[in-house]
Structure formats: C-alpha cells, structure tokens
C-alpha cells in the first residue's frame, strides 16, 4: 500500500500529537505513513518519510483563497501526493474547509457526484455507528444531491461497517412523508424513486428524526450540510453536558465518590465508546481519493484512529466502489 499522507501541521495539537499519532500508526500498526509539513518544526519524526511543505493554512483562515494562494501548504501538498500517486490517502486535523478545498481542487470529483459530502459516523451504544451525511460540506444543498449522498453513504456503511444492505433515512421532523421543510419534502420525493436503492443494494426507510440518530433504527442518515452539522455539534454538546453532570453526581459525597471509583473502568469504557474520536475521523466522500477529516482537537489517539480508518478505506477500495456506484 502507498503511504497515508498525514498533514503534520493541521490541528489544535499540531505538530506534536499529530506526529506522535503518525509514528505509532506506523510503528505499532505497520501502516505506511508520510508526514507532510515543515521538517524543522515536526520534532522527532523517527523513520517516517517526509514531504516538505513550507506553508501552513491556519485553523481559522478563509478556505478557498488560502488553498488557491498557498500552493506549498501542507494541506495542498498532501492532496497532491494522493493525486500524483505518491500517497494512497490524506488525513488532516486542520482547517476543515481548506481540507475539503484541497481535496476537491487537487484530487477532483468522482464522475456523477455533484458535491462531495462529509460522512461522520455517530456512535450507537451497543450497536453499529450511524453514518450521517452531509455533516457540513455544503451549507445549502439541492434535493437531488441527497440521492447522491444516500448512495455514497451506503457504500461507506458497507465498506466501513460491513452492513450489507444499509437502511437509509432522511432527517426530518416527523416520520410521515408530508413532514418537513419544502426542501425535505422534495428530497423525500427524489429518494422515494426505487431505482437508486435497488442499484445501491440498500433499503430506503423514509423519514427519520433526531431521536433516531443514536439508535439502531437506521444505518445511514442523509441531510443537508447545515442541518447535519447542527445535529453533530448538538450531539457533541449533549455528551459533554451529560458526562459533566455525571461527574457532579459522583462528587456528591464520600459515599458516591467511592461508588464512582468502583464504576471507574466501566465509565471510562462508556465515555470511550461514545467519544467522537473513537469512531474515527469523518470522510470526505465524492473526491477521487480517500480524505479523512479529523476533529480539530485530535489527540495522538484520535490520529491513530483516523490513520487506521484511512488505511482501511484504501484496502477495501472504497473509492472504486464509490465510483462504480455513481456511474
């Protein structure tokens, strides 16, 4: 396998935790990795290969203009490495918009896909994660793009989670066909055409609601990038609030603190299971290459996960499956 190109300069904890995660993915999991960035700033990179890039796109920089202007940035060079057959995938915890723009401009779109979408797996307690897309690539969508999202989401759910016949739902505010905004109703009509589900070997289950996201009722949820991103961040906030409140409950008195101690390992496992980092980075689906977008706050552990997911998606040939599905 060609190496995974890791943007060493992107993310709140770059380059230290990024490089540490990349080294561990290589040394412990045997995944080939190439770091992309400023050699003098990466610290001890061990035996990892390096692609030099002199510029860094800041986390809050305007995406489009940065990518056009900073041709020697780590993000642009990482995407070019994939395009040029020097890397099999790119992984970044940097500026999300710039990651998308780099991948889109350098790798290009898969034929038949109007707009790439971000697919994010949502943890489901005791079950297989639900794939939500678009989780933020396109703040405004056309109804017909949602059929493309549905087909891409089905490929991803199959390649990543082994779901042979994924159940695909449309995020709305009621289960009946007539529920939702005009955009959702029009999307519902397009998705109700049996042709795409038949061709994608998945099951169209109609509207689903916000309360279904963390359940085993559905495998792939399609929505516009605005609603998807709000949903994702609402979930993150709810997790934080609840875990914070749980720690307060445990801290009530000596009795409850002792109980908290006893519950420690079980709670740690619960938090790990529900933490977005565990399921691994989101993927930009629809470009001609594997592009993993990791959380800006990614730690070393999150990077190992993100690099593993990238390697796995390369191995199963997800991009070939997406291309076949879109044609």
Nearer to a second copy, 50 or 63 (CB): 63
Say how far apart CA 125 and CA 108 lie, in whole Å: 36
Can residue 226 be called a binding residue for a second copy (CB under 8 A)? yes
Can residue 12 be called a binding residue for a second copy (CB under 8 A)? no
Can residue 260 be called a binding residue for a second copy (CB under 8 A)? yes
Say how far apart CA 59 and CA 258 lie, in whole Å: 42
Can residue 128 be called a binding residue for a second copy (CB under 8 A)? no
Residues 6+ apart with CB under 8 A from 69: none
Can residue 65 be called a binding residue for a second copy (CB under 8 A)? no
**Longest CA pairwise span in the chain (Å):** 63
- Segment interacting with a second copy (CB under 8 A) among 27-35, 36-44, 166-174, 300-308: 166-174
Residues 6+ apart with CB under 8 A from 38: 8, 9, 52, 53, 54, 56, 74
Can residue 54 be called a binding residue for a second copy (CB under 8 A)? no
CB of residue 202 to a second copy, shortest distance in Å = 22
Can residue 177 be called a binding residue for a second copy (CB under 8 A)? no
Instruction: Quote the DSSP letter at residue 41.
Output: G
- Segment interacting with a second copy (CB under 8 A) among 85-93, 198-206, 262-270, 318-326: 262-270
Can residue 242 be called a binding residue for a second copy (CB under 8 A)? yes
CB of residue 265 to a second copy, shortest distance in Å = 8
Can residue 29 be called a binding residue for a second copy (CB under 8 A)? no
**Beta strands at 290-293 and 220-222: parallel, antiparallel or unpaired:** unpaired
Can residue 63 be called a binding residue for a second copy (CB under 8 A)? no
Say how far apart CA 293 and CA 217 lie, in whole Å: 26
Tokens of 42: 């990466």
Rule CB under 8 A: choose which of 44, 47, 84, 140 binds a second copy.
Answer: 140
> What is the Rg, in whole angstroms, of the alpha carbon atoms belonging to the chain?
20
**How many CB atoms within 10 Å of residue 170?**
26
Can residue 233 be called a binding residue for a second copy (CB under 8 A)? yes
Instruction: Quote the DSSP letter at residue 123.
Output: P
- Segment interacting with a second copy (CB under 8 A) among 6-14, 28-36, 119-127, 305-313: 119-127
- Segment interacting with a second copy (CB under 8 A) among 75-83, 156-164, 171-179, 187-195: 171-179
Say how far apart CA 35 and CA 107 lie, in whole Å: 18
Residue 266 DSSP SS3: helix
Site size toward a second copy, by CB under 8 A: 61
User: Could you check whether the bond before residue 6 is cis, i.e. omega within 30 degrees of 0?
Assistant: no
Secondary structure in 3-state letters for 52-82: ECCECCCCCCCHHHHHHHCCCEHHHHHHHHH
Rule CB under 8 A: choose which of 240, 317, 320, 324 binds a second copy.
Answer: 240
Can residue 59 be called a binding residue for a second copy (CB under 8 A)? no
- Segment interacting with a second copy (CB under 8 A) among 28-36, 154-162, 270-278, 300-308: 270-278
Say how far apart CA 279 and CA 120 lie, in whole Å: 9
Nearer to a second copy, 96 or 308 (CB): 96
Nearer to a second copy, 86 or 142 (CB): 142
Residue 269 DSSP SS3: helix
Rule CB under 8 A: choose which of 273, 297, 315, 324 binds a second copy.
Answer: 273
Residue 2 DSSP SS3: coil
Residues that bind a second copy (CB under 8 A): 124-126, 136, 139-140, 171-173, 179-182, 184, 209-215, 224-227, 229-246, 248-250, 252, 255-256, 258-263, 266-267, 269-270, 273-274
């Amino acid at each position: 396998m060609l190496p995974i190109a890791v943007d060493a300069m992107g993310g709140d904890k770059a380059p230290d935790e990024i490089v540490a995660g990349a080294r561990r993915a290589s040394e412990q999991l045997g995944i080939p990795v190439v770091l992309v960035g400023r050699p003098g700033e990466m610290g001890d990179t061990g035996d990892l290969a390096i692609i030099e890039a002199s510029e860094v796109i800041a986390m809050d920089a305007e995406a489009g203009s940065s990518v056009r202007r900073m041709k020697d940035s780590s993000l642009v060079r990482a995407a070019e490495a994939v395009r040029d057959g020097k890397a099999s995938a790119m992984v970044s915890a940097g500026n999300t918009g710039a990651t998308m723009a780099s991948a889109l401009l350098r790798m290009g779109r898969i034929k038949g896909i109007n707009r790439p979408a971000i697919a994010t797996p949502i943890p489901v307690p005791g079950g297989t994660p639900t794939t939500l897309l678009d989780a933020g690539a396109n703040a405004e969508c056309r109804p017909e793009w949602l059929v493309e999202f549905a087909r891409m989401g089905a490929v991803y759910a199959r390649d990543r989670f082994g779901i042979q016949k994924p159940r695909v739902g449309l995020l709305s505010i009621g289960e009946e066909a007539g529920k939702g905004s005009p955009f959702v109703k029009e999307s519902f009509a397009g998705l109700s055409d049996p042709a795409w589900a038949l061709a994608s070997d998945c099951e169209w289950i109609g509207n689903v609601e916000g309360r279904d996201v963390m359940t085993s009722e559905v495998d792939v949820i399609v929505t516009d990038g605005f609603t998807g991103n709000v949903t994702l961040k609402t979930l993150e906030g709810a997790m934080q609030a609840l875990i914070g409140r749980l720690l307060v409950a445990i801290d009530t008195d000596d009795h409850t603190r002792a109980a908290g101690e006893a519950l420690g390992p079980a709670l740690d496992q619960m938090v790990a299971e529900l933490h977005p980092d565990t399921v691994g980075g989101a993927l930009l689906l629809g470009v001609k290459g594997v592009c993993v977008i990791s959380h800006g706050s990614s730690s070393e552990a999150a990077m190992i996960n993100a690099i593993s997911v990238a390697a796995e998606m390369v191995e199963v040939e997800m991009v070939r499956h997406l291309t076949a599905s879109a044609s």
